[in-house]
Amino acid sequence: MFALKLRPIRFYLSKEKLFYEAIRNIFGFYPENIFLYKLAFRHKSQAEELYNGVRVSNERLEFLGDTVLSTVVADYLFRMFPFKDEGFLTEMRSKIVSRAQLNKLSLRLGVDQLIIHTQDTSNVYRSIKGDAFEAIIGAMYLDKGYTFTRKVLINRVIKNNFDLNELINTDVNYKSKLIEWSQKEKKTIEFVVVQEVGTGYHKQYVVDAVVNSEVAGTGRDYSIKGAEQNAAMKAVEFFGINGNAKTDSNQK
């Protein structure tokens, strides 16, 4: 136990000093378990082999961070808008935790500079920056606990980077954008509910945006409509529809 308490100091005085400082500059605190945060920045293209062929990356932490972030944002919005209905809260949460927003947030905070990945990976995995941000949240939760993570996300991330009034007036319909593009490019498109996770108020839907019989994006949300929007958003990012559309010859 004594060695565990001294570990952050030992690492701070070692070659990990710059990494400690980077986390401190971005999130305002020094990590306890440095290994969690190092793993959070390791993309699957640079997965590290531990033993018996087992390879680890930030994917498990990303899964955990996604859940923690969604919970914190839902709780924050619930308290900020006590008289708004479930539909409003769901839409606002989707706007904050969307992959496009998390990618932008990662760039703004400098998270992208610490990601370990192969060359040109970001051209293939367009969500790599947002994925890393979620993985960091997962690492923070395991390292510091929910209450600490919630305070950091609300006070240092949400309040400093999101204008709620502006978000209320922002209406980006990714589904309509994807459908319009598919009609122009003469491609077929459908949205398929592939999974239902949880029950009751915790139930989430997983939807695939299928373009020309291939999955172009997968979205998850507490409503089918929200899941479709998230799936469409990922498909829009994948095809570069906002101005740099991919052609069939360079899709990956």
The per-residue pLDDT for range 47-77, each reduced to its tens digit, is: 565 666 656 778 889 999 999 999 999 999 9
The confidence band for 95, taking pLDDT boundaries of 50, 70 and 90, is confident
Entry pTM: 0.67
Domain final position from 113, 141, 168: 168
Please say if the pLDDT value at position 101 is more than 70: yes
Closest CA to 90 of 215, 228, 198: 228
Residues 43 and 110 in one domain: yes
Q: Are residues 78 and 6 in the same domain?
A: yes
Domain count within the chain: 2
Name the most confidently modeled range: 144-148, 200-204, 217-221: 144-148
pLDDT at position 229: 85
Reference 56, options 70, 31, 30, 35; nearest CA is 35
Q: Max CA-CA distance within the chain? A: 65
- Quick one: pLDDT band at residue 186, thresholds 50, 70, 90? very high
Asked if 21 and 100 sit in the same domain, the reply is yes
What is the per-residue pLDDT for 170? 77
Checking if the pLDDT of 19 tops 70, the result is yes
Rounded to whole angstroms, how far apart are CA atoms 137 and 56?
Answer: 17
Host domain of residue 228: 174-250
34 is written with which tokens? 């440095």
How does residue 249 score in pLDDT terms, banded at 50, 70 and 90? very low
pLDDT for the residue numbered 145: 97
CA distance 245 to 252: 13
Cβ neighbour number for residue 224 with a 10 Å cutoff: 15
Q: Indicate if 241 and 135 belong to the same structural domain.
A: no
**Which DSSP string corresponds to 215-249?**
EEEEEEESSHHHHHHHHHHHHHHHHTTTT----GG
**Active-site residues: which are they?**
66, 134
**Residue 82: burial class (beta carbons within 10 Å; 0-12, 13-18, 19+):** exposed
